Amino acid sequence: MKTKSLYLFLLIFSVSHGQSKITSEEILIQNDSIELPGTLTFTNTKTPLVIWVHGSGNVDRNGNQSAIVKANYIKQFRDEINKNNIAFFSFDKRTSNPKNFKFLKGIVFTDFEEDVEKVITHFKDDKRFSEIILVGHSQGSLIAMLASKNATKYISISGPGESIDKTMVKQITAQNALLGESAAAHFKELKETGSIKNINPFLFSIFSKANLPFLKSWANYNPTEEIKKLTIPVLIINGTKDLQVKVEDATALHHAKPSSELVLIKNMNHVLKNIEKDADNMKSYYTADFPISKKLITTIVAFIKK
């Protein structure tokens, strides 16, 4: 069936923010039956527009996941970016919107890429904005690389520097060496045959039959190869307190793309918060009380306005 795109403006309003007036628009972008509602905010026209590309999980437009993750980090990012006269758009990832659940069977990695491309298509001819910058966070770092055709700049935040199968095998091995060996064998079989005959029962939640098409499609991409294909300015950022994606991932991406800028932010964790005490790292996932990294904002603003 031919893919249709439907763009509906639902609500437009303005709010006062200090000396600047922020215009906010609620926009629904539709990719066939998938609904991607989002929020656009800006203070002036003829300004750059940042489009946020989500990490893994059922992340909403504000950076929260169901009743568990309440870090609100994307909303905090939005507020700070808007203060610097930069427009911002983020949307509810297809996996976070209950209206989409019945359409998610058989989902593959490139479905997320297509969602982002639909968002970019909506804005690329919008004369209110001077350029489009993609910010890919975590899993979204790779998705944004793949969807960057009509973007003018690309920013990776906490982006993995290797294919997901290698990352997952390392994570599993760190917990249990034998399970790590099983995971490596499962990924090898999945890549070669498209299926796994005998799944280790301790790994079933990862390699269940429903997950296999997505895992196979995701493992097909190596971020250090994809980033080489970019012909636009590239900024790579990672925090030193990130528990999920390490500084080594950022340096691997930078080495693959030597023309990129690499910035390592002291004390920033995976949800972009400034963490002074290690005990607060995981706590910051469950509350919006922790501040977003100021260095993150100044670094991104300088890159965009360069």
Cα distance between residue 98 and residue 95, in whole Å:
8
pLDDT of residue 66: 84
- Using the predicted structure, report yes or no on whether residue 297 has a pLDDT greater than 80: yes
Architecture of domain 5-162+222-305: 3-Layer(aba) Sandwich (3.40)
CB 224 within 8 A of CB 294: no
- Using the predicted structure, report yes or no on whether residue 92 has a pLDDT greater than 90: yes
Q: Which residues pair with 8 in a beta bridge?
A: 28
State pLDDT tens for residues 145-156.
999 999 999 999
CB 158 within 8 A of CB 273: no
- Using the predicted structure, report yes or no on whether residue 73 has a pLDDT greater than 80: yes
pLDDT of residue 9: 42
Hey, where are the domains in the chain?
Answer: 5-162+222-305, 164-220
CB 222 within 8 A of CB 166: no
pLDDT of residue 19: 52
* Helix pair angle (164-175, 177-193), 10° resolution: 160
Q: Find the angle CA(296)-CA(59)-CA(9) to the nearest 5 degrees.
A: 95
Q: Which residue has the higher pLDDT, 124 or 9?
A: 124
pLDDT of residue 68: 87
Element (H, E) at 11: strand 5-17
Percentage of residues in the chain having pLDDT higher than 70: 94
CB 71 within 8 A of CB 62: no
